[in-house]
Structure 1
Amino acid sequence: MSVLLWFRNDIRIHDNPALDYFLAQKNGLLPGKAVFFVSEKQWLAHDWSAIKIDFIKRHVNALAKQLLLLNISLEVVHCDDFSEQVSFLQHYCQQHNIKEVVANYEIEFNENQRDQLCLAKGIPLRMFESDIIVSKGKVLNKTGEMYKVFTPFKRAWLAYVRQHGFDYLGKPSAVKTELLAEQKKVELMPLLTCTGESDAWPLAEQVEQQVIPEFYQNKVASYGEKRDFPALKATSGLSPYLAIGAISPRYLLLLFLQRFPDILVASDSPEFTWLNELIWREFYRNLVFHQQDLSKHQCFNPKYQTVIWPNNHGYFKAWCEGNTGYPLVDAAMRQLNQTGWMHNRLRMVVASFLTKHLLIDWRWGEKYFMQQLIDGDLAANNGGWQWAASTGCDAQPYFRVFNPIRQSERFDPKGQFIRKYIPELAQLPDKEIHFPHAYLAKHNLKNYWPAIVDHKQARLAALDFYR
């Protein structure tokens, strides 16, 4: 054995460039060896949530079974952090005469530092790209620099795909080998013990077979119309799978183009709204690739780097717990705390509320989200928070402050979402549920906490603060 396959943030066999190369090197029926590192200490240092870690472990167990059908055995190695990963690989390569360690790139700063250390230690690391549709660094402006505004990036990205297409490697075929005993062993004794926190989310294989086709067929045409209403199940729910690399974004685009062949030139079509979200993902990943300081929680716009945020700890606690007195904000935070996921419209609402109404550093919210979300992803999370806080690339202007009451009236008009997560307001009339304090006081009801700030006063304070 002279090649080792290293799985990282690419827990799949479908459209996996590193795996594709590895299979070509190991010559068909020859057995192969792959490794996956469980680095809980490192994961926690990066604020990964318990539900995301459980989701990863479930997919690693599934990956081990899939790899056996390719005559590859997966070894799970427990290492505290990245430095231990490097030490393990260095020793393993020497012990087993490994000529090449094959992996897919990870874009974050610490991960890049680890990979550079691997090379410095003589580990023969060969890397590919699996996390994006168009290779990072290919979509640049006329001066050869990264785009700092999304819309021009989108136009250039679409033009690039129309002109060059994109690579898609498919799913490797199983090989016929005598592995029944080993398969049964993996079935009976999973490599990793899971907590069950993520069980509400099916494995990626089921999503590819059922969820994606159903979404493309029945929901994507109305996605633009319905996606902002949290009471509706109108979004794709694919972000957790993209976040851990269990589903390939190139596969998603391939299927999309098969169903909507003209979508790359039909930006005014209803279906394009969903493709737009994939392009936002590409944009944010390009930003982190080009500007590694974003991995260090630096403001993209440097003039905000020295801002001194008031950071009221009591306000932050109330926000985290869903006790702000603004029902849509509180229901959204309860959804996050109870399920490990939050509807995208609500992510914008609660982020605006934290940074504009409460004047709390966006990094506090970014960290809390990562600690709760099943789809926690540094690039998307950082991009979203800096957009809301007006400190980022192509962010909303600082003077735009979401009104949480109007957002509630517009996107949860009958209070269905609010009632689901704040049952103490379930009996209120629709028109009163969005900001119920006058109604509660009139009827001498004390089953809901008062608003911690007044919207109008908070908005004016935010404008003064940002100026």
Structure 2
Amino acid sequence: MHDYAPAKVDFLLRNLRDLQTRLEAEFQIPLTVLHAASWDEVPQVVAGFVERVGATHLYYNHEYEVHEARRDAAVQTLLAPKGVACVGAHDECIVAPGVVKSKENKVYTVYTPFRKAWQDLVKRKHPQDWLAMSPDPGANPASVRTVVPDLFGTAIPEATHEGLPGYTLPIDESVLAHTRAAWPAGETAAHDRLKRFAQSKLSAYSVDRDFPALDGCSSMSGYLTTGVISARACFNVARAANGGQIDTGDKGAVHWMQELVWREFYRHILVAFPRVSMNQPFKLDTKLVKWTDHDPATKDEAERHFAAWCEGKTGYPIVDAAMRMLVQEGYLSNRLRMVAAMFLTKDLLIDWRRGERFFMRHLIDGDLAQNNGGWQWSASTGTDSQPYFRVFNPYLQSEKFDPDAVTIRKYVQELRAVKDSKALHEPHARLPAAVFVRTGYPRPIVDHKAARVRAINAFKIAAGKVV
């Protein structure tokens, strides 16, 4: 399950219950959850169900990860001899992977030219044309309640170990309580949130998104990654709010639509370069980077540093605020994700794959393509990534995007009582020594300037450049 966070599993199940209720009440369509003992058995389980109900067509949405694509292909192989038509749709994207190509018919591996080509396509052709659905097969020959009445009212499991065989991540009830309140389930809730965002936050999005204290993000990601709402629906709302324009007009609307294109870009990359979903870097030469947690000489210290990062005890307040927010609430704004990821991969020089997995295990909106793309960008191992010699300074990031230390005070309890907001960005250096000691907050586990040099040298060595 790609290390899905308990909060995401719970959110997915809550949305399924809402969908089940609506389908049965409004359309007399049952929603059934099938169980397989292992991933390899899923095709047989699906094919067996299709045969049991006597279906002639199987409609599904394409999933682009390697194992999911293989699963869907296996289902089609099993059903083809039985005359069942398997019809896939690319509803996870606005424009299907493989459609956006250069004049040389190559896949774009840099975002900006991809975005321009993508926008040109959307201007010329309605996104609905890329759904790739076949014609309606016609009405069902008989009432579903008559043929398979036992499918109605099927129980959907709760987010517990007992209800999810093979799911072993610990479930924190306090986190679930928070996410259940912050992320109400259902398509209606998703569209309501989108409408409120378009009305009250969209125009300021290009600026406010970077300031976590302003809550300027759309918070639509959880609904997008679970399929509760489509990227197409989100794009159309933003486009309408911008007078039908997609690359000019309101800066906030344009910027948010471009973020949806980023989402598309990482999915297109995942299909064209499946290695990125198999724990491999996009830039193959970065496989030679000597991460501190791989080097026997630094492994023990790296493990201590990784634990401190996970627990939000690095001594860098903005990083620690981000990590505590992630663990407590299952969500982070994009700016905080970048700050935390850059710190792990550059300041601590720890393998990006460990951070990628930790995020997936805690984010309610954990999405393999997006999460992988973001981590590889921060680690300078991916497509269109941050150049290895550009390393975020956590102190400057803190001062710029949390100037009044609102986010730091909210999540770093040890520093809440400190009145000097400026001191909170670098408390070990800006507070009197005695005052700092009384806070109980840790000193920085690494020196940023020295860590930056170490990271740059590690990438130079991997690239065969002289240090």
Query: How high is the TM-score relative to the length of structure 1?
Result: 0.84
- The reply to whether residue 333 of structure 1 matches residue 314 of structure 2 is no
- The reply to whether residue 119 of structure 1 matches residue 76 of structure 2 is yes
Give 3-state SS (helix, strand or coil) of 1:103's partner: strand
Give CA-to-partner distance per residue, 1:219-238, whole Å, 9 cap, x none. 11111111101111111000
- The reply to whether residue 193 of structure 1 matches residue 158 of structure 2 is yes
Letter in 1 for 2:5: S
Q: Are the aligned partners of 2:206 and 2:251 in contact in 1 as well (CA < 8 Å)?
A: no
Letter in 1 for 2:10: D
Letter in 2 for 1:220: L
Q: Which residue of 2 aligns with 1:40?
A: none
Q: Are the aligned partners of 2:98 and 2:107 in contact in 1 as well (CA < 8 Å)?
A: yes
TM-superposed CA distance for 1:178, in Å, is 12
TM-superposed CA distance for 1:190, in Å, is 5.2
Give 3-state SS (helix, strand or coil) of 2:34's partner: strand
- The reply to whether residue 296 of structure 1 matches residue 239 of structure 2 is no
Q: Are the aligned partners of 1:242 and 1:249 in contact in 2 as well (CA < 8 Å)?
A: yes
Q: Are the aligned partners of 1:440 and 1:446 in contact in 2 as well (CA < 8 Å)?
A: no
Query: How high is the TM-score relative to the length of structure 2?
Result: 0.84
- The reply to whether residue 98 of structure 1 matches residue 63 of structure 2 is no
TM-superposed CA distance for 1:450, in Å, is 1.2
- The reply to whether residue 135 of structure 1 matches residue 122 of structure 2 is no
CA distance in 2, matches of 1:252, 1:75: 28
CA distance in 1, matches of 2:10, 2:20: 16
- The reply to whether residue 441 of structure 1 matches residue 433 of structure 2 is yes
Q: 1:267 to 1:317 in 2, by over 3 A?
A: farther
Q: Which residue of 2 aligns with 1:8?
A: none
Give CA-to-partner distance per residue, 1:278-314, whole Å, 9 cap, x none. 1100111111111111110211011112333111111
The alignment yields a C-alpha RMSD, in angstroms, of: 2.3
TM-superposed CA distance for 1:118, in Å, is 1.7
Tell me which moved more, 309-318 or 90-99. Answer: 90-99
Equivalences, count: 413
Q: 1:126 to 1:73 in 2, by over 3 A?
A: same
Q: Are the aligned partners of 1:61 and 1:192 in contact in 2 as well (CA < 8 Å)?
A: no
Match of 2:422 among 427, 431, 435: 431
Match of 1:466 among 456, 459, 462: 459
CA distance in 1, matches of 2:99, 2:332: 32
Q: Are the aligned partners of 1:227 and 1:235 in contact in 2 as well (CA < 8 Å)?
A: yes
Q: 1:192 to 1:159 in 2, by over 3 A?
A: same
Q: 1:265 to 1:359 in 2, by over 3 A?
A: closer
CA distance in 2, matches of 1:205, 1:91: 30
Give CA-to-partner distance per residue, 1:109-143, whole Å, 9 cap, x none. 00011112223333543211110111211111111
Q: Which residue of 1 aligns with 2:23?
A: 67
Give CA-to-partner distance per residue, 1:372-428, whole Å, 9 cap, x none. 110000100000000000000000100000000010011111110000001210122
Q: Are the aligned partners of 2:314 and 2:444 in contact in 1 as well (CA < 8 Å)?
A: yes
CA distance in 1, matches of 2:62, 2:51: 23
Q: Are the aligned partners of 1:349 and 1:404 in contact in 2 as well (CA < 8 Å)?
A: yes
Give 3-state SS (helix, strand or coil) of 1:66's partner: helix
| Sequence identity percentage | 40
Q: Are the aligned partners of 1:387 and 1:393 in contact in 2 as well (CA < 8 Å)?
A: yes
Tell me which moved more, 298-307 or 160-169. Answer: 160-169
CA distance in 1, matches of 2:272, 2:144: 47
Give CA-to-partner distance per residue, 1:69-95, whole Å, 9 cap, x none. 212111112223332221212333444
